[in-house]
Structure 1
Amino acid sequence: MLNRRRLLALGATAGGAMLLPFTKLTPVGANDGELPHKGYHLGARTAGTGVRPALAPFSTQMPILPTLQPVQSGLDVDIYKIPIKAGTAEILPGVQTPVLTYGGRFLGPTIRAKTNRRVKIMYQNQLDMPANVHLHGGHVPSVSDGHPMDVIQPGQARVYDYPNTQQGATLWYHDHSHHMEAEHVYRGLQGFYLIEDDSERRLNLPSGAYDVPILLRDVEFDANGELIFFDDPANRTTILANGKAQPYFPVAARKYRFRLLNGSNEHVFQLNLGGETMTKIASDGGLLPAPVPVTEMQLASAERAEIVVDFARYPIGTQLVLSNGSDPILRFDVVRRAVDTSRVPDQLRPLPALPTPTVTRDVALSFDLTADPIGLVNGRPFDPARVDFQIKRGSTEIWNVVNADTFAIDHTFHMHLVQFRVLERNGAAPPQHDAGLKDTVRLPPGGSLKLQATFRDYLGKYVYHCHYLEHSSIGMMAQMEIIP
């Protein structure tokens, strides 16, 4: 029975995320394959030690995350090398914060791939613990998916092979090593992976320096400027844009394409430009059928959205603030004129036809809160030895996904391997933020979703789970196997 005191100990953020007294767990691969969902004591808690940094707002420029160049390119393949290693980063001015990195920087380098051009990436694990990489939103073979139990041991390397046989989209890569994914991603193991295609290029959307990926996320610092992880996620009150707190970004008076990613472990952004119009053009899986003007936009953990903002509407010297509700995140400063030949056409990309579904499945996300919290999918915690669903390759299915926790606990739902379409939310037509091809959706307490997906790509085992990473890391994950 969940009494009032227990509920308050769990709590809920403004976005509804569950606030777990997070358990410090043994890394996967460190205990002969055992799954410590139970029986582990809480790690050293730092509750009450977090501070909100005293920052001069908009005093630091938001960086552009660097694009990684291949170490080798062939006729139809680009090859990259990325070390996974510890480092430090100047997140706060003048303070060096210990972080985990892909490639030595807090927030990994951006990889720009092309549809039907293969990418191979060698990741070298220089940490003292296992790690791995999941290409979130990627249609990839199971051996390159970054399965939670398929890790790179310390001192070893692994090549991930990405065929990129999908349309242009804003994807991202992040750690997915079971039990450790939440802490690894929180400390920096994440970055953009952008797929571009020729049909999208012909639309003449803003490109080059005017196509800007922005990773938004929340963090908590202690008095020394170090990241606090083992604490209530509601205390992660500092919002970062591309790794900087409350930065500014100088823009020309012309159209920009911003690729927004919520890289938080468990947070829901309500984004706005102070009532100004943003034109939404894409979701998780790529372009929408047509642009949608919005003045506010919800973005839950792991979701992506692309917007176009036309700064030509404003005089030089105008300052526009991107905010989370009333909390400022990033200021755009209009500083110069520029020639602009880009456009946002009335039609972008039609959604693929929906094949006839042949199977219907039910998925329930919930917690067992009788002792230490355990995440459950359909009443059971994750077990890599168990296949929960067998799915025939080429089939189309309906999944009815529900948040079975009705007491102020949010979840998100993410499916590996494929994007899906949201057919219904709570039994009604889905709202605008569910439009397009999706791979991650928010599930508020007691909420339900009807999804449709076609599994046409690869055979093998993949997972589906809550993408509040503190939830998946303690069991809220299940496994499907695509079979002939």
Structure 2
Amino acid sequence: MNPPVSRRVFLLGAAGAAALTVTGCRNGDTRAAFSTVGTLDFANPLGIPPLAASMTAADGTRVFQLTAEAGSSRFLPDRTTPTWGYNGTFLGPTLRARRGEKVRVTVVNALEESTTVHWHGMHLPAVFDGGPHQIINPGAVWTPEWTVDQPEATLWYHPHPHGQTEAQMTRGLAGMFILDGDEPVQGLPFEYGVDDVPVIVQDRTFGDDGSFRPGPPAQTGLLGDTVLVNGTCNPHLAVTTEAVRLRLLNAATARIFNIGFADNRGFHVVGGDGGLLAAPVAVGRLLLSPGERAEIVVRFTPGEQPVLRSFPHELGMSREFNDGAGGNDVLDLLQFRAADKLAGSPQLPERLADLEPVDPKMSAATRSFILKGMYINGRMMDMSRIDATVGAGTVEIWMVSNIDNQPHSFHVHGVQFRILELNGADPGPEFSGWKDTVFLPVGTSARIALKFGRHTDPETAYMYHCHLVRHADQGMMGQFIVVQPQ
């Protein structure tokens, strides 16, 4: 019996079947589908991003330091690649803090161009959000600080300068930020790098000289022919326990990954963008668009070597254009090599977290967002324009509709939301938790309930935008401020 498939994949398949006549892609924006199955030997041990060092200040603040810097990295055996990273040459360390802690990050820009650092998924004051307004010039230092006031979750950080985000992320700027609760949930793996493993998935194309290259043109953005996991090409992970928790992060700038296993084994989703689900959900596939995260738990038997794979998926376009957006690619991501003897792991608990309910009837406002071209509601990004004003602590209902001829991924800064409907139906239990990013193929819509936090600032805006990063760079972004409710 095959494991259940994510309901979102089923819904998108239906949407795709109804949208086969969609046209309008630019000439040259198509590319052939391809597969890496059978081409990898998984020779390289998976790199695990180190936990970031921190110190405790006199007032109890946990202090981290990140330096954005240039260097070179070796992904391929016979050449090096010019890259950027935080505290190193590619990606960055994993920051880790606990709910209730005050956090300060000293960010040093050692690059030759301006950058920002956005704390994706974090609830914090707008002046510390790290969006395009919080520019860090070359040689400058930025020191955001805030108190962690949200549930345990897998978040991340990346640059966000307007018009340059795809380029800076592609060079290598990104990292994971893990938030812990008061105590680990009993039954969930929690030893970092052993049975609780970050899995940062990206794609790249390499030139003959080792440099990153754009690859064939695609209207959604950069689509590479080589997968990097935690910055490792052709990776394997040594497994020593019966169960492993994988913190999946789609850190690609355009590629959607339809995650599953080559042997079609099932696994359990235990968390999403904003933290743990109410209960584990058994699935066989899980679709993650750029910016989305998921925590899954997989069980292994001694000596086996299963492969994590990205499978084809519907984007709501014809086959030709689905090819062009990477929807029909088959990509092997990571091989697991289970030891001949595995340490025992408990079964997952029946309950994981108590999720705060959101009552749509308490909505202070309902807003509509139409995605088409590089526009949201017919407007492109204007750094001087505020598109919406919301009240701190209020609930709003947003209806986000993709009427474009290409997919989009809608992300909101500084707040989490619950998906009430996806294309008119329940999104499925694996997407029932708190989210900050929702994927919208061609012709689909999402009705979401947002509960805004306590941080107010009538002068400084948060962003909402497409997280297919080239789209945001080209103007598919808007701004809102949070004020005291009237």
Q: Please state which band the TM-score falls in when normalised by the shorter chain.
A: 0.7 to 0.9
CA distance in 2, matches of 1:119, 1:154: 24
On the 8 A contact 2:53/2:64 being kept in 1, the answer is yes
User: Which shifted more, 329-338 or 468-477?
Assistant: 329-338
SS of 2:107's partner is strand
Instruction: Answer with 269-278 or 284-293: which moved more.
Output: 269-278
- The 1:59/1:453 distance shift into structure 2, 3 A limit, reads same
Correspondences of 1:22-421 after superposition (within 5 Å):
57-74=41-58, 76-199=60-183, 201-208=184-191, 209-229=194-214, 232=217, 233=221, 235-273=223-261, 274-311=263-300, 314=301, 316-325=302-311, 326-340=330-344, 342-355=346-359, 356-367=362-373, 375-405=374-404, 407=405, 409-421=406-418
83-92 or 284-293: which moved more? 83-92
- 1:230 is displaced (CA, Å) by 7.7
Letter in 1 for 2:254: E
How high is the TM-score relative to the length of structure 2? 0.85
Structure 2, unpaired ranges of 5+:
1-21, 312-329
TM-score normalised by length of structure 1: 0.85
Q: 1:382 to 1:230 in 2, by over 3 A?
A: farther
Q: Counterparts of 1:170 and 1:13 in 2: how far apart (Å)?
A: 34
> Alpha carbons of 1:429 and 1:55: their partners in 2 closer, same or farther (altered >3 Å)?
closer
Cα separation, 1, equivalents of 2:59 and 2:132? 32
**Runs of 5+ consecutive residues of structure 1 not aligned to the other structure:** 16-51, 368-374
Aligned mates of 2:345, 2:25 — CA distance in 1: 58
1:471 alignment partner, SS class: helix
Match of 1:438 among 431, 435, 440: 435
Describe the shift of the 1:256–1:230 C-alpha distance in structure 2 as closer, same or farther (beyond 3 A): closer
Q: Offset at 1:174? A: 0.2
* 1:37-66 deviations in Å (ceiling 9; x for gaps): xxxxxxxxxxxxxxx9x9752111111111
| Native 8 Å contact 2:240 2:343 kept in 1 | no
Amino acid at match of 2:303: G
Q: 1:12 to 1:445 in 2, by over 3 A?
A: farther
User: Is the 2:67–2:107 Cα contact (8 Å) retained in structure 1?
Assistant: yes
- Equivalent residue, structure 2, for 1:26: none
What CA distance in whole angstroms lies between the structure 2 residues aligned with 1:69 and 1:104? 13
Distance 1:352 1:162 in 2: 22
The separation in 2 between residues aligned to 1:432 and 1:131, in whole angstroms, is: 37
Please state how far the C-alpha of 1:228 moved relative to its aligned partner: 1.2
- Partner SS, residue 358 of structure 1: strand
CA distance in 1, matches of 2:442, 2:25: 17
Report the Cα distance in structure 2 between the residues aligned to 1:105 and 1:343, rounded to whole angstroms.
39
Q: Is the Cα contact below 8 Å between 1:102 and 1:189 reproduced in 2?
A: yes
Measured against aligned partners, the alpha-carbon deviations of 1:398-432 in whole angstroms (never above 9, x if no partner) come to 00001120x2x110000001110000111222234
Question: Where does residue 477 of structure 2 map in the other structure?
Answer: 477
Distance 1:179 1:61 in 2: 35
Offset at 1:277?
1.4
Equivalent residue for 1:455? 452
Give how far 1:342 is off: 4.1
What is the CA–CA distance in structure 2 between the aligned matches of 1:66 and 1:99, rounded to whole Å?
18
1:7 and 2:26 correspond: yes
Q: CA deviation at 1:73?
A: 4.3
1:390/1:255 CA distance change after superposition, 3 Å: same
The number of equivalent residue pairs is 432
How far residue 256 of structure 1 moved from its aligned partner, in angstroms, is 1.1
SS in 1 for 2:45: coil
TM-aligned CA distance change 1:231 to 1:13, over 3 Å:
closer
- Give, as a single letter, the amino acid of the residue that structure 2 aligns with 1:324: S
1:473, 1:13 → 2: CA distance? 25
Equivalents in 2 of 1:162, 1:88: separation in Å? 33
Looking at structure 1, the residues matched to 424 and 284 of structure 2 have their Cα atoms a distance apart, in angstroms, of: 26
Aligned to 2:465: 465
Q: Deviations over 1:202-228 (max 9, x none)?
A: 424111121111100111111111101
SS at match of 1:90: strand
Shift of 1:483: 1.1
Q: Secondary structure at the match of 1:275?
A: coil
The amino acid that maps onto 2:81 is T
Q: 1:206 to 1:194 in 2, by over 3 A?
A: same
Shift in alpha-carbon separation, 1:189–1:426, aligned structure 2, 3 A: same
Q: CA RMSD in A?
A: 2.1
Letter in 2 for 1:211: D
1:1-55 CA-to-partner distances (Å, cap 9, x unmatched) read xx9785343348979xxxxxxxxxxxxxxxxxxxxxxxxxxxxxxxxxxxx9x97
Given residue 381 of structure 1, which amino acid in structure 2 is its aligned partner? M
- What is the one-letter code of the residue matched to 2:296? I
Counterpart AA for 1:410 = P
Letter in 2 for 1:288: L
2: CA distance between counterparts of 1:147 and 1:234? Answer: 21
SS at match of 1:330: strand
* CA distance in 1: counterparts of 2:163 and 2:424, whole angstroms: 34
